[in-house]
Each structure stands twice: as C-alpha cells, then as structure tokens.
Chain A
Amino acid sequence: MNKVAVVGISDTKAARRRDDATFFQLAYDAAKEAVDDAGLTKDDIKYCFFSTACENFNRQPLMGIYIAEALGWSQKPLFEFTNAGGASGSALSAAYNYVASGQTDLVLVVGGDKPSDADAPGINGFQNLIVYGNDCIFETPFGIPFGQFPLLCQAYMSIYGITEEQAAKVSVKNHGNALLNPNAQSPKKITVEDVLSSRVLAWPIKLLDCSLVSDIFAAVVFASEDRAKELTDDPIYIKGVGHANDVGKYGWREVMNPGMTFGQSPVIRAAARDAYHMAEITDPLNQIGVAQIQDGYTWLELLTYEMLSFCGEGEGGRMMDEGVTEIGGRLPVNPSGGCLGHGHAYGGIGQFDMAEVVKQIRGEAGGYQVKPVPITGLVETMGGSGMSVSTVFILGRE
C-alpha cells in the first residue's frame, strides 16, 4: 500500500443555525476551503467521497447526486456514504484506500448535515427524525429520540461504577476547551453542579451531558506521497485505519460479542485494534499526543477512553478525575471542545475531527494548541442508534 497524506482541511465556524446557506452551499463552502488549503483546484481532483448521517435530516433523498451537482462534479465519480456518525469514517476509510491502492493520487472527502432545516416552527423536528434511525420493527415504535444511548449510559454506569459527576466533568472540560476555540459553537465556563442540575432528558442523560446540534459540513483532501511532497514540505500522513460494525439492536450486543458487556462498545475496540496494528501503536496513552473522539453524550467520551485502550476496562471515570485528558494533560482529548463544545458535524464528523488533529500536528491550533506540538494524533468516529459503527485513524509526521 502507498502512503497517504492529509494535504487540505476545511475550518469553518460551527453554528446551531446557518440560515445564510442551504446544505448544498455548506458542502460547497467546506469543499472549497479544503481544496484551497491544499493549494489545488477542483479540476486537479477526480474522486470525491461524500457522507451524510441521514439524508432525511436534510429532506433530500439521493443527496449525493445534488452534492455532485453543487460541486460541479460532472463526468467524474462521487460516492455517497450514509451511516449516522459512522458515515464520515466510512467515506474517509474508502477515500484513503483509493489513494493507498494507487487508483488515484488526490481525493476530496466532504460531509455533513444541516439539521436545523428539520426544526419546523414549534417542534424539534430533528430529534423526531432521529427516532427513525432505530430498528424500524423492534425499536422505532417506542419513539426514543436518543436511540439506545440512555440505556447504554446506564449500563456503563451500573456495571463499572462510573458516576454522573465523572460524566459531568467531560462537559465541563469540553465546554471549557471551546472557550479557547474561536470556531466553537458553545464556549462556556460551567461547573459539575451546573451539569448535574441541568434538565433531565432521559435519565441519566441531562441537557448538559448532550452534544450540540449543529449545521456543519467539513472536508479534507488526501494525496499520495509524491503529490503531497509537491504540495508541502512537511506532509502529515495517515498511518493507521481501522473500521468496524456491530449489531443495530442493542439487545443483541452481548451475544454477538462474547465476553463483552452491554456497557462496552465492541466496535470502537475493534476499529482501534486494526488502526493500532497498522500504525504500530502498542502503548496508546504514551504514543498518541492528541485525540479527537465522538463525545455525543458525556459518558461516551469516558467509555471511548476505555475502548481505545487509553486506560483499562472501567477506568474511564478515574482517567477523567485525574485530568489526563485535559489540554495540559498527558493525552489531551477533544481540545477543540468536541461535539459538546465545538460543534457536532454528524455526517461530517470524521472530516471535522481529522481537520482538528491536522491543525494540532501542524501547530496551528492557536489558543487550544497542545504543547509540545504532537507528532501523532488519533481521530475516532462512531455512529448508530447505539454504538454500531466506528472508524479510527492514526495521523502523524513521517
């Protein structure tokens, strides 16, 4: 396999509503930013990979056709991926392989959603659309906009003794990190007590445990090693990729993953195992300098520490207590503010987070720059009604 570098990224301010743009426009803007950042034009690139969490968030079936149109992608290929928060990981993984295999030397990967379009007057339409992402026969009839996540969080708490206070610290950290990020949607100085006393939505999940709803598209450009060296003196390479799926029905998870509990996320562990193997990571806590991971709900960040082997099983809460993942800690996680403080890019979350890790490794993250400048970073995406699909990338300098 050939080496693949990230040579262009988008960098847009996250917002709850973007009334100034349609979703086609947001995709175009992100793509243009990334291609400009790479020092290329759209005509240099043949292959485009597009991801959306769910087309009905944007009211446009066959969405990829219209994104291709908006990007002027005529007589060349655009592939569409849809799989909730896993869509972007799938698109990035496929795009990586198109370059690694030698099929092409430049790819554009763009993704995102505009969920505010589903906020018809008086209702939170987006939350209702999420209901349809559950199993249509056995779960959608219960009408739970959170999917399986509250059950998963309760399982994680009760099996491993993780507390609501420990989860609340994730919200405090990520909203606090967002104060340092001029592109963040929700910069806030809050306390653990603020999180615990925020409105209960689906116990144990409270309002400030929840990630943001954002109108965001994000994009990255990948290049072969030769092209990357033409474009930059100091390419940042993708050194590891891992991808996994799991059951959609939460109740099947234990029997389909023998030895794992309902309070774990086998997909992330499997994706990380492959990415670490490829990148020769054997001690993630010490070999990785920065990580951007899916913090859709506070508990998920703690659980993801465990599944990425940053700590042992059941130790996610302790890791948070010890401040290991703060910007000044041993392994800063979500220094941008993550989905809780920076913005939640849904179908573009992988591109969005990969751009953040690239900024960190370039040393261009400004007020939330991790020091010393990391040489290796991790991106994790996760999606599904519970944790059903995940991709892990390891990025680094040569």
Chain B
Amino acid sequence: MEVQLDAFKAYYKIEGEYEYSYGRISRFFRELVENKRIMGTKCRACGTVFCPPTSDCPKCWIPTEWVEVGPEGTLLHYTIITLPSLFRKRDLPFTLGLIRLDGADTGLMHFVNETDKAKLRNGLRVKAVFAEERKGYITDIEHFAIVTAV
C-alpha cells in the first residue's frame, strides 16, 4: 500500500547535552587520564577479571577489586569499517578490534592501527597507544598498535 499523495515534509533536530558520573568505575578513567594505566576489576569470588570494568561481578553479585591489566594484549577479532558515520573519530577506513588485555578475561572493543587486511589476523599481539590529550573517555586510548605477529 504505497498511496500516492502530496506529502508535506519538514526538518527536525533533537539535541541534548549530558554531564554524567562514572560512579564506582571512576578510577578506570582517572587512571587513563593521570597515569596512562589501564585498570580492570577482579571478582573477589570467581576471580574473573573484567575490562571494561564493573564495580560488582554480574556473575556472582560480589564486589570486585581493582587490578592493572595490559597495556599489551591479544587481538581476538576485528572488522575494517568503510561505511561513513557522523560519529567516526578516525578517517576511513579504520579497524575495530576486540582485544583481550593481558591479565583480563574479557574482550575490550577498540581501534587497531592497521587497515591492511593482509596484515591483520586473529591472535596478533597489540599494545595500547595513549592519546596526548586525555579527558576521561575510552578513546583516551588512541588505538592499539600491532606489536609482533604470533
């Protein structure tokens, strides 16, 4: 049912600004900004190390404790993005990876500084490169650079 009619159109934009707290994972961002350190959280019961961190283990419902992870890790999976997005922080194409930081059990999504498919594969060792200017975002890590092939 595609009825032909003389539809009238108009433009609309919704804008919103937020100032939010990182609550009990604030230390993750403070360490990135002040010390270029990546922190994970370890469950006091099951021992799982989360990075991205969580203040309480969602498996055990038990508080976690802070542990340092990385800055090196292993590239688990990756994609090379070529579709433009208004939100992109890097020029196209760019690579997005899932990285298991040394000492962590989970994967962290982040940019990988290599877009040549021939040079990318699962299992590559990568290392965090920090942004010069850091303001408390996950992109304070500028990207992960390939260290050596395994």
- A interface with B by C-beta (< 8 Å): 12-13, 15, 18-21, 29, 56, 59, 120-121, 123, 127-128, 131, 135, 137-146, 148, 150-151, 153-155, 158, 199-205, 247, 249-252, 254-256, 262
A-B contact count (CB 8 A): 129
B83 close to A13 (CB less than 8 A): no
Query: Mask for B5-31, Cβ within 8 A of A = 1, else 0?
Result: 101010111100000001000000000
B52 lies within 8 A of A150 (CB): no
Closest CB-CB distance, A309 to chain B, in whole Å?
24
The reply to whether the CB of B150 lies closer than 8 angstroms to some CB of chain A is: no
Say if the beta carbon of B102 comes within 8 Å of chain A: no
Asked if B98 and A262 sit within 8 Å, CB to CB, the answer is yes
| Number of B positions contacting A (CB below 8 A) | 45
Of B80, B87, B106, the residue contacting A202 (CB under 8 A) is B80
Tell me whether B107 and A251 are in contact (CB under 8 A).
yes
Residue of A13, A150, A251 with highest tally of chain B CB at under 10 A:
A251
| In-complex Cβ contact of A151 among B9, B96, B137, B138 (8 A) | B96
B130 at the interface (CB under 8 A from A): no
**Residue of A at shortest CB range from B8?**
A19
Docked-complex contact A142 and B76, CB < 8 angstroms: no
A20 to B2, CA, bound (A): 7
**B113 sits at the interface (CB 8 A):** no
> Is A155 in contact with B58, judged by CB distance below 8 angstroms?
no
B77 and A262 within 8 A (CB):
yes
Contact of A138 among B3, B12, B122, B138 (CB under 8 A): B138
Please measure, in the bound complex, the distance between the C-alpha atom of A123 and the C-alpha atom of B85, giving whole angstroms: 9
Partner of A252, one of B81, B96, B106: B106
Complex Cα–Cα for A145 and B79 (A): 13
Q: Decide: A251 near B79, CB < 8 A? Known: A128-B86, A141-B138.
A: no
